[in-house]
Amino acid sequence: MLKKMILVAAFTGAFALAKSQNVVDFENLSLPPDSFWNGSDMSGSFTANGIATFPNSFVDWGGGMTSWSGFAYSNKADTVTQDFSNQYSNFAGNSLINSPIFGVNYNNSDWNTGQIIPNVVSFSSVIQPISMYVTNSTYAALTMKNGDAYSKKFGGTTGDDPDWFKLTITGMLDSITTGTVEFYLADYRFIDNAQDYIVKDWQNVDLTSLGAINKLSFSLSSSDTGMFGMNTPAYFCFDNIMYSLYNTISENHTTALKIYPNPSSDVVFFNKKLNNVEIYNSLGQIVLTHPSMNDFINIRSLPSGYYLLKATDNGEIIKQLLIKQ
């Protein structure tokens, strides 16, 4: 677990998860029936539920030609049209209960390398993500199922090709990567072809391993690639990002390790002696070290902000969020 997480999922010391759970469900936004928003108003982003900002890039090329990348939102559920005109429908053919509007992600690619460019949603507070629902877009799903002039039919003519389409979700605290979660939107790598699948229903993805974050990055990859990069249409749909806020609480929170006070403007204490204490800034750079065994570290010289404390406790590496006031 420690290899997959750069921050523990439940913080100790002066921080813990708030008991209440919150959700980004896009229901503060409005749409006419069977419609979508794709950034054509040139606003460059939209904010959902007062906490999550989703960037969008829209280009009007003239002559009725436009393009977009980043995030859109939609309530469309056309499950039969397989072409570029149907970019905004979810393949489930329905919305989540009490959540008719959902998000649509489209990853653009680098013109020179063909590499997918991740899309990043930013949160105005530090949160602990819990889960989110995802499904395929109809355009991507039917392209994988049937193939087209640019993309192969998954499984190939025999059904034996080990094709796959993967979503990678990365948690970040500023520029520090906290962990990744992978979810296969399609998987044809099974020995028994009857087990091959393209996700159609809304699926819940566990995000608790990402720990404390203020950004989520989404990137798509596929076995079907060519000289210009990924051939599979780089879309997926998502909804109901569940999360909890981190709140300052009593220092009497009982855990194996405490760091206190947190936030702090001066000295931070530990409830046990730690070795090889290192403090990382938001760029992942070491800004303070204390190599000898000790139960405190002075952070007075640090600018205000978020930091990662890393130390060794009886041979075990410990990583925690530290906030300098």
- Give residue-wise pLDDT tens across range 85-137: 999 999 999 999 889 999 999 999 998 898 999 999 999 988 889 999 999 99
The residue assigned the tokens 């076995």 is 223
Element counts in the chain: helices (H) and strands (E): 1, 22
Give 159's DSSP letter. S
Highest mean pLDDT: which of 183-187, 301-305, 311-315? 183-187
Compare 129 and 255 and report the one with higher pLDDT.
129
Do 13 and 257 touch, CB atoms closer than 8 A? yes
**Would you call 316 exposed, middle or buried from its count of C-beta atoms within 10 A (0-12, 13-18, 19+)?**
exposed
Do 54 and 121 touch, CB atoms closer than 8 A? yes
CA atoms within 13 A on the CB side of 202: 20
Q: Please give the Cα distance from 141 to 103 (Å, whole number).
A: 16
Q: What share of the chain is helix, strand, coil (3-state, %, to 5)?
A: 5, 50, 45
Do 299 and 270 touch, CB atoms closer than 8 A? no
Structural domains in the chain plus CATH codes: 15-247 (2.60.120.1350), 257-324 (2.60.40.3080)
Nearest to 233 by CA among 220, 246, 245, 242: 220
The residue assigned the tokens 């049209």 is 81
Compare 249 and 56 and report the one with higher pLDDT.
56
Do 247 and 208 touch, CB atoms closer than 8 A? no
Nearest to 66 by CA among 41, 94, 90: 41
**pLDDT band with cut points at 50, 70 and 90 for residue 275:** confident
pTM above 0.95? Answer: no
CA atoms within 13 A on the CB side of 223: 17
Q: How is 45-58 classified by DSSP, letter by letter?
A: EEEETTTEEEEEEE
Q: What is the pLDDT of residue 20?
A: 55
Give the number of other Cβ atoms within 10 Å of residue 32's Cβ. Answer: 7
**pLDDT band with cut points at 50, 70 and 90 for residue 292:** confident
Give the number of other Cβ atoms within 10 Å of residue 2's Cβ. Answer: 10
Q: Report pLDDT digits (tens) over 156-199.
A: 999 999 999 999 999 998 888 889 999 999 999 999 999 999 99
Q: How is 64-95 classified by DSSP, letter by letter?
A: TEEEEEEEEEE-B---S--SGGGTTBBTTSS-
Q: Summarize the confidence of residues 248-256 as an average pLDDT.
A: 37
Give 195's DSSP letter. G
Q: What is the mean pLDDT of the chain?
A: 87
